[in-house]
């Protein structure tokens, strides 16, 4: 029986409060610019980020990557969408 490494792409909600902007699109752009330099610390160093008010699992899986163990060339690796359909 083959074995697999399954990578779940889980959605995480980050609240970045009090962003002043003329439009909602500008607010999203500013949020991207504020958080981008800190993502490594959030994900790998597990350091809190002062500009993030809260983080939580958004109760959604966006997709999957399934790797068959032993397939060193990743020829059998497959991406799936959230409905578990290959993409």
Model pLDDT, residue 46 = 67
* Better pLDDT: 57 or 61: 61
Residues 6+ apart with CB under 8 A from 83: none
Q: Are residues 64 and 83 in the same domain?
A: yes
Model pLDDT, residue 42 = 74
Q: Considering the entire predicted model, what is its pTM?
A: 0.69
**Where are the strands (E) in the chain, listed by range?**
4-15, 54-68, 78-81
For residue 26, the enclosing domain spans 18-52
Q: Are residues 44 and 31 in the same domain?
A: yes
* Better pLDDT: 51 or 9: 9
Cα-only R_g, the chain: 17
Q: Are residues 1 and 24 in the same domain?
A: no
Q: Are residues 59 and 79 in the same domain?
A: yes
- Total structural domains in the chain? 2
Q: What is the pLDDT of residues 12-54, one digit of tens each?
A: 888 999 999 999 999 999 999 998 888 777 777 766 677 777 7
**pLDDT averaged over every residue in the chain:** 90
Q: Are residues 23 and 36 in the same domain?
A: yes
């Amino acid at each position: 029986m083959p074995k697999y490494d399954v990578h779940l792409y889980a959605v995480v909600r980050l609240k970045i409060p009090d962003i002043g902007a003329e439009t909602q699109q500008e607010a999203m752009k500013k949020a991207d610019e504020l958080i981008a330099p800190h993502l490594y610390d959030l994900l790998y160093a597990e350091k809190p980020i002062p500009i993030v008010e809260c983080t939580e699992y958004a109760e959604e899986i966006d997709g999957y990557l399934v790797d068959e163990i032993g397939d060193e060339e990743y020829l059998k690796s497959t991406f799936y969408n959230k409905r578990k359909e290959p993409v």
